[in-house]
Amino acid sequence: MNLFKNKIQDERVVHEQNKIYREIYFLIYTICLVSVVYKFFIYGFELKYIATEIIITLAAGIYYTVRASQKGLFSAEVEMHDNKSKWSYQTKTIVIGVATGIALGLFFGINSAVNYAETPLERVYYFFLTFATSMMFYIPILVLVLVISYSTAKHQSDKAVEEQLEDDES
């Protein structure tokens, strides 16, 4: 009996399995998020307690970006997005960086006002001081990191697409 005789895979089964893997991916993200929120309320905002969740989230994101770039899928995602959306993928990337910077500034501002200030005037002062400082720090860094990551991934992905289609003269 030849075990390798039938090379055709059941596409329906493979497709359904991939759908389940995708659901598992979201499930893991949700568990990480719930765990971070839970630990935040139990231990406060301490990075050491949520390091595992951050590593899982970051590693999965980085892995996906690298593999999607290698296979040229990132260019396809950008193309599909830009065909449908009013805002280009690159503009959205910058907006996400700025919005995340503002959100972090708000978070640290409120945290500082609530935990360290004693009088109402101090609260306002601490809030605006921390909010402005955090924004000045986080917005440029986040925008820079996201734009560099986007450009690198897009460049590598475009190269992969060209290699895949290189013997095709269109």
- Rule CB under 8 A: is residue 6 a binding residue for another protein? no
- Rule CB under 8 A: is residue 76 a binding residue for another protein? yes
Please, are residues 138 and 100 in contact by the beta-carbon 8 Å criterion?
A: yes
Residue number, 58 or 76, with CB nearest to another protein? 76
Rounded Cα distance between 71 and 12, Å, is 23
- Rule CB under 8 A: is residue 14 a binding residue for another protein? no
- Rule CB under 8 A: is residue 79 a binding residue for another protein? yes
Q: Which stretch binds another protein (CB under 8 A): 16-24, 34-42, 96-104, 158-166?
A: 158-166
- CB of residue 5 vs another protein: minimum separation in angstroms? 19
Other CB atoms within 10 Å distance of the CB of residue 112: 21
Please, are residues 98 and 143 in contact by the beta-carbon 8 Å criterion?
A: yes
- Rule CB under 8 A: is residue 170 a binding residue for another protein? yes
> Which residues lie below 8 Å from residue 71, measured CB to CB, with a gap of 6+?
157, 160
Count of positions on this chain that bind another protein (CB under 8 A): 12
Residue number, 60 or 161, with CB nearest to another protein? 161
Q: Which DSSP letter does residue 48 get?
A: G
- CB of residue 65 vs another protein: minimum separation in angstroms? 17
- What phi and psi values does residue 122 have, to the nearest 5 degrees? -65, -40
Cα 106 to Cα 59, 110, 130, 132: the distances in Å are 26, 6, 8, 9
Exactly one of 69, 72, 109, 131 binds another protein (CB under 8 A); that residue is 72
For another protein, the binding residues (CB under 8 A) are: 72, 75-76, 79-80, 83, 161, 164-165, 167-168, 170
